[in-house]
Structure 1
Amino acid sequence: MKKMKIVIFLVISIILAGAAVGEAIPDYYSRYFYLMAPPGAFQYGLDGYVNPANLAFLKAGESRFFWSTEGVKARSFENWGFVTAVPSLGFGMEHQRLPVGHVNDYRISLAGGNDGGAIGMAYGWSSGDYAAPRRERLLSIGGISRPNRYLSLGLLGNFSVQSPGREGVAEIGIRPLGDARLTLFADGAWMRGNKFKDSPWSAGAAVELSPGIGIVGRYFDSKAFTLGLSIDFGHLGISGQGHYDNNQKLSGYTYSVRAGGLQPSIFNTLGEKDNKFVPISLKGLVEYQKYALFDDQSLRFMDILKNIRAAVDDPRIGIIALNLSGLRIYPENAWEIREELKRAQTAGKKVVIFFDNAGMTGYYLASAADLVVMDPQGSLTLYGYAISKTYFRGTLDKLGLGFDEWRFFKYKSAVEVLSRDKMSEADSAQNQVYVDDWYESTRADICQSRGLSADSFDSLINNQAYFMPDMAVKAGLVDTLARWSDIERILWNETGNYFGAVSTEALLPNALPPVHWGLRPQIAVVYGLGDCAMDTGIKARRLEQVFLGLAGNRNVKAVVFRVDSPGGDGMASDIVAEALKRCAQEKPVIVSQGQVAGSGGYWISMYGTQILAGPSTITGSIGVIGGWLYDKGLAQKLGMTSDHVKRGKHADLGLGVILPFVGYQVPARDLTQEEYAKMEGFIKEYYDGFVGKVAEGRKLSIDSVRSIAEGHFYSGIEGKKLGLVDEIGGLENAIDLAKSEAGIAPDEEIDIIEISKYKGLFNFPWRIPSLPTGVQNNSVYNYLKKVCEQPGQPLPMMLPGTYPEISR
C-alpha cells in the first residue's frame, strides 16, 4: 500500500497542476478499446501497455497480437498492435487508421513490485502520416495494489511531456469468491477541465466458466457495451469480443492472440490426465545451496522435493521417473526424497527409478519405486553400514606434537582420534547402536517396498554383497534391465501406453501464475549449515539478525530452521539459539534436523516450537569437550625456536613457534595442574549451562536431560523416544507443520522464502586455494584448525566425519 500511496500522490499532484487536454491525449476508452476489462482486474492488461504496473505480475515472458475488424466484417482487418514483455519490462506498438491517414503509437514500460502491489512507468511516442492528428509524447505512471485475494485497486496517470495535457484513471476489481471464478470491476477516466459527473466510466464482470475458459461483459456510461470470450491452451491463448454501440447494435469485433507463459488450459478441463511423465535427473551432489550461475555439478535439495510435489499436484502426470546416475547424497536426504516418492504413490502416481551403479544409499532410494530399472552393464553393492575413524595419536607422536584430551563426559568422543589409537568402549557402544538403528530402518523400508523378508535381506548383504545386473534381477532387487535413454520404451512396455515427457519447469504448479490476488502467506526456510562459528559455517552473526528480522516480519507466518551442523563454538551456538528463541515467541519456528544436528547443532535446535528429524539423523550429543595441542619436540625437529617476555603468571600459555606456510601457532607447553583445574571447572560449568538450556527448551527436568547427555548421540529414532525430537519427518513435513502451527489451511498456497537460497553468484574454479581442497575438507584438519584458532576453549561439537558421509 505504501507504493500505491506514492502513485496516488504523484498522479493527483500532476493532474491538478495541469491544464485541460486537447488532442494530445486521445480519450482513454477509445485508445484502449482492445481491453476486455480494466488492466488490473483481468489477465495482464495487454502486458503493461496500458498500466505499466501490470508487468510486475508477469511470471514469464509473453507476447500478444491484437486487431480490430472493419465494422461487423468478422474476417476484415483494420487496426492492429502487438506487445511483448518479460517480468518488469515491456514494449508495445499500435497501428490505427484514421480518416486523414494512419498513426503508430509506441510504448516502453518498466515496473517493480510483488504480488501484493506494484508501480510502473512508461514512455510513449508516436509516428505516422503528417496529416494525422498530432500525438504528443507521453509519460505514464501506474500502480496496482492487491492487499488481499478479494480486492485489486489500480491508478494510472498519463502526462504529456510537450504540453499541460493530463489524464487520470482509477479502477477497482472485486473477487467475492477470492479467486478468478468471478471478478466484478469498474473504472473511470478523468481529465482536468471535465466535471467528475461527466467523466466516462465502465463496469462489468468476468466469469471463469472453467480453467482456461472465461467470459467478460463490460458496460459503459454511453450505454455501449462489450461481450467477450477468452480461451487458453496453456502457452497459447485467443480471445475476442463484440462491441455494441449506444443503440445496442453490433459495431465491430476485436481479437487477440497470446503466446508465452503458461496459463490454465482448456485441455486440462477436457480431461488430459495421467498421460505424461516427468523425468528428473539427480546427477550431481545434492546440497541445500548452490551457486546461482555456472553450477551444474550441484542439485538443490529443496528443488528436488518441490518438483516431486509439483508432479503430484499436476493432473497430467502419471509417472515420476528418476535417474540416479551420478547421484551423490547424504543418507538422510535420500530418506526424505524417498518419503516424498511414497507420498506420490499414495496420491496415485507411479514411480520409476533408474540407476547404473549404486551402493546402499542409492539402492535404498531406488527401492521405493514401482519399477526399478538397472543398466545392463551396471553394478550394485550392498555391503551394509559402517562408521570408521582414522586415529592420529601415533602421527602426532612422530611429528613431535602432544595432545591432551579434556574429556569429562563419558560419550563426548570428538577428540579421540587425536588422543587414542582406537575407539573407546563408550564411543564404540554408541556408534554400534546408531549403526544398528540405521541398518534396521533401511532394511525395514527396503523389505516393505520389495516384498523381502528381513532374513533374506540379511542373507543378500552378508552372503552376496556385490550384484551384477542379472543377479540383481534374480534376487528380486531390480525389475528390469535397460538404459535411461530408452525410458519412453520402458514405460510403453510396462504400461502399454505412450507417455509424453514434461520437464520439471513445465509442471503446472511450477509454471502457472498464482491463482489468487495479493501476497500469499510466507514460510521462511532458514539454513544453519556447517560448523557453529561466528563468520563461517552457520555464520552466527548473520543468523542472529535473520531470526530477529523474521520475528518482526508480518508477512512471514512461520519459520522452518533446517539444521545440518556438528556444532563448534559455544558462543556462536548460543547467539543463534537465543535469537531463535525470541523469534519463536512471535511465531512458530519448526526445526528440521538433517544428517547431523548434534552438540552445538542440537544447541541451536533446542528452542524450536517442534523438532523433526530423520531416522538416520544424528541428534543429541549434549556435552562439551576440549583439548590442548602443544609442542612435544616439533620445533626441535624443524630447527625452530621461540622466545618471549611476559607479565602475568599465565601470559605465556599458548605461545610457541608459528608453523611456516600453515600459519598456526603451536603452544610450547602443556597446562600446569593449576591451569588444568581451572579449565576443568570451566568446561563443567559450560556443560551445566548447556544441560539447563536443553531442559528449558525441551520442557524436561534437568535430571532427565543429564541421564541422556554426557555427550551421547542418538539416531533420530532413538532421539524421539528420549524426547530430544518431537516427530520423525523431513523438510517438507516441517513446512507442512509450520503451516498448521500458523493456522494456514493445508491446501492454501504459500510462498517459500529461503534464507539463503544460493551460496553466491558463481564460483571461481580458477582461483588458487591456500591449501589443496582435499586437505581443506579433511575433518581432522578442520578440528585441529579450530583448536589452534581457539586454544583452550570448550567446544560443544562432534568431530566432522564421525557421521554418515555423502554416498551413491
Structure 2
Amino acid sequence: MKRFCLILTAVIMLLTATGTFAQQFAGYHARHFFLAGPAGAYQDGLLGFANPATTVMLQRFNMRYYWSTQEDDNADIQNWGFFTAAPNLGFGMLREKIDGKKVTDYNLSLGFGSRSAAFGIGYTWQGGEKARFARERLWSLGWLFRPGRFLSAGIIGNFSAESNAKEGVLDLGIRPLGNPRLTLFGDYALQKDQPWKDGTWSAGAALEVLPGINFSARYFDSERVTAGLAVSLGSGRISGQTHLDEDNEVAYNTYSVGFGEYTPSIFANRFSKRRYFLEMHLKGRVDYRKFRWFDDHTQRFWELLQQVNRARENAAVEVIALNLSAMSILPEHAWELREALQAVRAAGKKVVIFFDNAGMTAYHLASVADVVMMDPQGSLMLPGYTLNRTYLKGTLEKLGLGFDEWRFFKYKSAAEALSRDSMSTADREQRQAYVDDIYDLIRSEVSASRGINEATFDRLIDESVYFMAQDALAESLVDTLCRWNALGDVIRSLTGGNKMRIRPEQLNEGADAYQNWGTPPQIAIVYGLGECAMDSGINARQLAKIFERLTKDRSVKAVVFRVDSPGGDGMASDVVAEALKKCAAE
C-alpha cells in the first residue's frame, strides 16, 4: 500500500507538470551534462545531485570530482562539479561557464527507504549569474524503484521556489542478464508549459566488459551522442566521456575521479596484493550475542569468524594478527576460531598471535599461529583438565532431610549430587570419557602445530604446569618474547617486508559489495541458547514467534539455526521444531 501511494503521487506530479506555456528554467539534460546515463539507472546519479533518492543506495561516504574541457585544449577547465554523499545524505556543487559568465549550483539532498524502494528530497540554489543560465532555486522530489535485479525506475519532480515552473523526469533501466554486465537505459524530461512532443529524452546502454571496466553510449533527441569509459580501482574510480554534437564533431570532454563505494574490479587486488595485515583484538567476552548499547566489551563470535574468513579470501591480506590479552572465550568457540585460522594458513597466509597470560583454552587457540608472541613478563598455565562435583547427601542428613532419587537410566546422574556422597561408576565413566576426548584433541592439535611430540606435551602438563615467559620459550611453546607494540617487527621478520594495517570495515566493503538492483537476499541467524524450556533458556515461545515472522518475510531467503543447549523439556523442543519445519517448508 505504501509503495502504491508513492507511485500514485509520482504519477500525479507528472500529469500536473504539463501545461500550455513556455519553458522557464534550464532543462534536466542541460543541467546534468556530467551524467553518463540516467540518474537512477546507471552508476550513482551524481551522488544525489540529480535524484536525491539515489543516496539511499550508498553504503559508505563517497566523493567525486568532475570537470570538462574543450576539444582543442584539455588543460582549459570550462565546467566542474564536486559531489559528496554518505548513506541517505548528499551535497554537491556544479559550476558552469560560458563566454566568461559563470553560475554555480549548490544542492543538498536527503534520502529515505531501502534498496528496493527509495524516496528523496533535495534543494538546489545558485550563486553567480543565474539569469544568464536560466537557473532558479528548486525543490526536488525523487523516487527510485528497484523491485528486482532486472528493472530500475526513477521519477524526479523539480519545483521552482521562484515561480510556478515545474519539471518531471522519468528514467528506466533494464538489465537483461540480471547483473551489471549489460544495462539498457533511457529517460524523458518534460517541463511545465511544454507539449509532450517537445520533451527531451535520451537512450543508451552500458557494457561491463571486465569487472570494473564499463563502456557506455548515449543518444539524445537533439542528435547529440556521448561515449564514455569508467574504470573502477576498488574503492577508487576514474572516468572519461566524449560529447559529440549533432554533426558528430567533438564538442567537449568530461572526466572524473573519485573514491568511496567499493566496486569489484580486476585492478582492485592487483595494486594491493599481499600488502596488508589484519589486526584483531579479542579483549573482553566472546559470545554469540551482545547488547546493542553499552556493551563494548563483548565480541560477537560470528563477527570474529566472518573477519577471519574474509581476510582469508581477500588477496590483499597476507597476515592476520590476533591479540588475546584479557580475552574470555569458551573452549568450543576457541576451537572453532582455531579451525578458521588453520584454514587461513592452509590458504598460504600467515597468522601471528600474542598473549600475555594464558591458560589451556587460550593457548590451544594461540598454538595455531605461525608465530606465537608472549609478553616477557607474562605467564602460561597448562594444568590439564578435570571434572568434579559437590555432593550434599551428608549435609542433608545433618539437617534431617532425606532425598529419594527417581532414576530411570544408568547415565542420568544429575540427581546424584543430592542422593550420593561420592561419584558413581557410571558418572565417573562418562565424565572421564569427556575429559579424555577434550584432552586428546588439544594434545594432538597443539603438538602438531608446535612441532613437539605428544609425550613431551604430557610431561609439560604433568610436571611443569606453570611457565614463566623464559620457560615457555625454552620449551618451544612460544616463538618470541615481546610486547604487542613490536608486532610490526615480527611481521617484517616473518614476511620479509613491511605491511600496512587494514581495518575490518575495509574487508567488509569488498565482501558486502552488491551491484545488483534491489534488496540483496538476506540470511537470518537465529540462536537457541541455554536449556530447552518454554520461558527461559532457549525461550521456546518467543523462538517460535521469531520463526513465524521469518517465514512471512520475503526478503529472507535462508535461516541458519545455531543451537547451544544441554537439552531439557521435550515440549519446548517440539514447539521450536514445529515452527522450524513450517519455516523450512517455505
CA contact (8 A) 2:141 2:156 kept: yes
The residue that corresponds to 2:51 in the other structure is: 51
The residue that corresponds to 1:462 in the other structure is: 462
Deviation at 1:407, TM superposition (A): 4.1
- Structure 1 residues 39 and 408 mapped into 2: Cα distance closer, same or farther (>3 Å)? same
CA contact (8 A) 1:18 1:164 kept: no
User: Equivalent residue of 2:312, what SS?
Assistant: helix
- Structure 1 residues 132 and 393 mapped into 2: Cα distance closer, same or farther (>3 Å)? farther
The residue that corresponds to 2:14 in the other structure is: 15
The residue that corresponds to 2:553 in the other structure is: 553
CA distance in 2, matches of 1:130, 1:227: 29
Instruction: Output the amino acid matched with 1:230.
Output: A
Deviation at 1:3, TM superposition (A): 6.3
The residue that corresponds to 1:521 in the other structure is: 521
Where structure 2 has 5 or more consecutive residues not aligned to the other structure, the ranges are: none
The residue that corresponds to 2:89 in the other structure is: 89
**Mapped pair 1:79 → 2:98:** no
CA contact (8 A) 1:101 1:131 kept: no
The residue that corresponds to 2:206 in the other structure is: 206
Deviation at 1:556, TM superposition (A): 2.1
The residue that corresponds to 1:116 in the other structure is: 116
- Structure 1 residues 380 and 54 mapped into 2: Cα distance closer, same or farther (>3 Å)? same
CA contact (8 A) 2:25 2:134 kept: no
CA distance in 1, matches of 2:463, 2:368: 23
**Mapped pair 1:347 → 2:347:** yes
- Structure 1 residues 221 and 408 mapped into 2: Cα distance closer, same or farther (>3 Å)? same
The residue that corresponds to 2:363 in the other structure is: 363
CA distance in 2, matches of 1:421, 1:371: 48
User: Equivalent residue of 2:517, what SS?
Assistant: coil
User: What RMSD over aligned residues (CA atoms) do the two structures have, in Å?
Assistant: 3.1
Where structure 1 has 5 or more consecutive residues not aligned to the other structure, the ranges are: 587-808
The residue that corresponds to 2:158 in the other structure is: 158
Deviation at 1:211, TM superposition (A): 4.4
Deviation at 1:583, TM superposition (A): 2.0
Cα deviation 1:410-438 (Å, max 9, x = unaligned): 33333444554443333222222111111
Instruction: Output the amino acid matched with 1:486.
Output: A
Deviation at 1:57, TM superposition (A): 1.0
- Structure 1 residues 96 and 428 mapped into 2: Cα distance closer, same or farther (>3 Å)? same
Instruction: Output the amino acid matched with 2:323.
Output: N
Instruction: Output the amino acid matched with 1:158.
Output: N
Instruction: Output the amino acid matched with 2:456.
Output: S
- Structure 1 residues 72 and 477 mapped into 2: Cα distance closer, same or farther (>3 Å)? same
CA contact (8 A) 1:116 1:146 kept: yes
The answer to which of 235-244 and 219-228 deviates more is 235-244
Deviation at 1:456, TM superposition (A): 2.8
Cα deviation 1:600-657 (Å, max 9, x = unaligned): xxxxxxxxxxxxxxxxxxxxxxxxxxxxxxxxxxxxxxxxxxxxxxxxxxxxxxxxxx
As a proportion of its length, which structure holds more strand?
Answer: 2
CA distance in 2, matches of 1:306, 1:269: 20
CA contact (8 A) 2:17 2:168 kept: no
User: Equivalent residue of 2:433, what SS?
Assistant: helix
Give the percent of matched residue pairs that are identical in Structure 1 and Structure 2: 50
Instruction: Output the amino acid matched with 1:15.
Output: L
- Structure 1 residues 240 and 197 mapped into 2: Cα distance closer, same or farther (>3 Å)? same
CA distance in 2, matches of 1:278, 1:88: 30
CA contact (8 A) 2:13 2:168 kept: no
Deviation at 1:39, TM superposition (A): 1.7
User: Equivalent residue of 1:545, what SS?
Assistant: helix
The residue that corresponds to 2:35 in the other structure is: 35
The residue that corresponds to 2:496 in the other structure is: 496
CA contact (8 A) 1:157 1:169 kept: yes
Give the structure-1-normalised TM-score.
0.66
The residue that corresponds to 1:424 in the other structure is: 424
The residue that corresponds to 2:300 in the other structure is: 300
Residues 532-611 of structure 1 aligned to structure 2 (within 5 Å): 532-567=532-567, 571-586=571-586
CA distance in 1, matches of 2:503, 2:559: 30
The residue that corresponds to 1:281 in the other structure is: 281
- Structure 1 residues 395 and 253 mapped into 2: Cα distance closer, same or farther (>3 Å)? farther
Instruction: Output the amino acid matched with 1:189.
Output: A
The answer to which of 566-575 and 312-321 deviates more is 566-575
Deviation at 1:58, TM superposition (A): 0.4
- Structure 1 residues 461 and 231 mapped into 2: Cα distance closer, same or farther (>3 Å)? same
The answer to which of 458-467 and 274-283 deviates more is 458-467
Cα deviation 1:391-424 (Å, max 9, x = unaligned): 4556667778776655444333334445544433
CA distance in 2, matches of 1:299, 1:480: 27
Cα deviation 1:694-730 (Å, max 9, x = unaligned): xxxxxxxxxxxxxxxxxxxxxxxxxxxxxxxxxxxxx
Give the structure-2-normalised TM-score.
0.89
CA contact (8 A) 1:188 1:199 kept: yes
Aligned length: 585
Q: Which has the higher contact order (CA 8 A, sep 6+)?
A: 1
CA contact (8 A) 2:67 2:80 kept: yes
Cα deviation 1:422-457 (Å, max 9, x = unaligned): 433332222221111111222222233233333332
The residue that corresponds to 1:249 in the other structure is: 249
CA distance in 1, matches of 2:405, 2:375: 50
CA distance in 2, matches of 1:417, 1:98: 92
Deviation at 1:360, TM superposition (A): 1.1
User: Equivalent residue of 2:38, what SS?
Assistant: coil
The residue that corresponds to 1:745 in the other structure is: none
CA distance in 2, matches of 1:519, 1:289: 25
User: Equivalent residue of 1:436, what SS?
Assistant: helix
The residue that corresponds to 1:600 in the other structure is: none
The residue that corresponds to 1:440 in the other structure is: 440
CA distance in 1, matches of 2:418, 2:225: 85
CA distance in 2, matches of 1:450, 1:465: 17
The answer to which of 409-418 and 93-102 deviates more is 93-102
Deviation at 1:149, TM superposition (A): 3.2
User: Equivalent residue of 1:411, what SS?
Assistant: coil
CA contact (8 A) 2:23 2:193 kept: no
CA contact (8 A) 2:57 2:115 kept: yes
CA distance in 2, matches of 1:354, 1:8: 57
CA contact (8 A) 2:26 2:134 kept: no
User: Equivalent residue of 1:9, what SS?
Assistant: helix
